[in-house]
Structure formats: C-alpha cells, structure tokens
Amino acid sequence: MKKKLLAGILFVAALAAAGILWQVSKPEALEGGKEVTVEVLSSRDGYEKDFAFETDEEYLGDLLVGEGLVTAADSDYGRFITAVKGMKADDSQQYWWSIAVDGEMAETGMDDLPLIDGSTYTLELKQGY
C-alpha cells in the first residue's frame, strides 16, 4: 500500500514539474503588429492557397479562429483544428490537420504557437496516424 501511495505522489510531482518546465520554456508571444503567412494544403481536396495577415494577435490559434480560417474543437489539451476553409478532418479515414512553422513540424497546438513576424504557418491535411 505504501509503495502505491509513494508511486502516486511521485507521479503527481513529475506531472507538476513537467507543467512548470513547460511554462518556463515555452516560446513567448510578441506584442504588436506582425505580418504572417498561413499556407493551406490539402492534396485530398486539390487545394493549395496562401493567406497573408497583418495582425496584433499573439498566438496562431486566436488568428486562425478569429479570421474564420479554421473550425476548432476543445479538448483537454486545448483547441484542435477540425476543418480549414470547410475542408474537414475525417477520423474514420484518419485525416487530420498538421501545423508547421517555417517548414518545421510544430511541437505544440495552435493555441501555444506564438506568431512571429515574417513567419509562414502551414496547415496541411494529412492521412494516417
């Protein structure tokens, strides 16, 4: 019984430490005006288009939802993209929307991606988990 209690306490402490580490190390958002490009790619739908934005938003999620470019759903981990320009992800066919920043796969969701002046954010419909 004591081993289970100790294991539980250590698990909770590890989660708390991970949360603190994330808050300390996550990229900071920049205030003020920024010019960014959002590239949308869907080979399934034969769609490829760039959108240029001038914005004061600090995070990608706020820009995408605010501009009506994406539809998002809430989860325990934040919002996730369910559709871009009406092109829906499809769980039954394992379609999902990925995000890349300047060609590098994003390590966080859209709500934790700071907008950086001059950057390109790529939303690509991918298949397969």
pLDDT tens, residue by residue, 53-63 = 999 999 999 99
**Predicted pLDDT at 56:** 95
* Cβ–Cβ < 8 Å for 79, 111: yes
What average pLDDT does this structure show over 34-63? 97
Residue 74: band (very low, low, confident or very high) from pLDDT cuts 50, 70, 90: very high
**Predicted pLDDT at 25:** 47
pLDDT at 105 exceeding the cut of 60: yes
**Predicted pLDDT at 19:** 46
What average pLDDT does this structure show over 115-123? 98
**Predicted pLDDT at 91:** 94
Mean pLDDT over the full length of the chain: 86
Cα distances from 103 to residues 8, 38, 43, 55, 77, in angstroms, run: 40, 12, 17, 21, 23
**Predicted pLDDT at 4:** 64
DSSP 58-87: SBHHHHHHHTTSEEEEEETTEEEEEEETTE
**Predicted pLDDT at 38:** 98
12: which 2 tokens?
A: 């909770």
